[in-house]
Copies of this chain bind each other. A is one copy, B any other.
Amino acid sequence: MQIDKQAATRLIEASEWFRELPADVVQQLVTLARMKTLGDGARLFARGDEADGFYGVMRGQVRISSLGADGRELLVAMFEPGAWFGEISMFDDLPRTHDATAQGDVELLLIPKPAFRRLLADDPSLYPHFMRMLCRKLRRSFGYIDSAAFLPLKGRLAYRLVELASLHGQRQPDGAITIGLHLPQEELARMISATRPSVSRVLKALEAEGSIALAYGRVSVLDLERLQALADGEDSD
């Protein structure tokens, strides 16, 4: 598979996890990387799989999720171009923790595990970088755990919308933050492990309050502070 060095370098430089890296390391990464393409809906890996490497998204979206025994899906994250994922198994040599599937046509950069490990071994100054990456994931997990433990549905949804706004939001001229994902209610429901009708009810309520604006498969945040307050458990309903 051919690899577009231009695009790949741009991707690596764009990622916040590689932005701080010295230029030669960026080049090393590009040299190590292989290209991988996936069609819509194709599975990249499943929980429990042996890990092949560390991935960077170049095009399309990658859906990270967990499957319950009854088949219900918990949608953990959506990675977009510039995002890197799959590093956990690189460090502890254990199987994948989640399922990963392509959303739309996806182009990935794959850094095979042996190459990745060699790179780290050769240049230990890279470690702190990845430690911060893991810490960030841990903190995000803790936040999610707390929100699930303490908040009712409305709070959990607010929490998630705040997060989505910060990860995928585009500020509009009028101050609103449009979430740049295709976001049907079903999808939101899977993120906060609720049902679609409940999400519908709460979204309507938030819209009525003026905290958000709704469109077909799309959500905009109008009052981030209000959502944040709800996410903090200030249930001034």
- Residue ranges of A at the interface with B (Cβ–Cβ < 8 Å): 66, 68-70, 72, 74, 88, 91-92, 94, 97-98, 124-125, 127-128, 130-132, 134-139, 141-142, 144-146, 148-150, 193, 232-235
Contact = CB atoms under 8 A, between A and B. Distances in A.
Contacts of A98: 142
B149 A68 contact: yes
B148 A148 contact: yes
Contact of A135 (B66, B74, B91, B149): B91
A193 B138 contact: no
B149 A66 contact: yes
How many copies of this chain?
Answer: 2
A88 B146 contact: no
A64 to B, nearest CB: 11
Contacts of A72: 150
B92 A150 contact: no
B139 A68 contact: no
Nearest to A88: B135
A102 to B, nearest CB: 21
Contacts of A91: 128, 131-132, 134-135
B142 A142 contact: no
A74 B142 contact: no
Given A92-B131, A127-B127, A138-B88, A148 B149 contact: yes
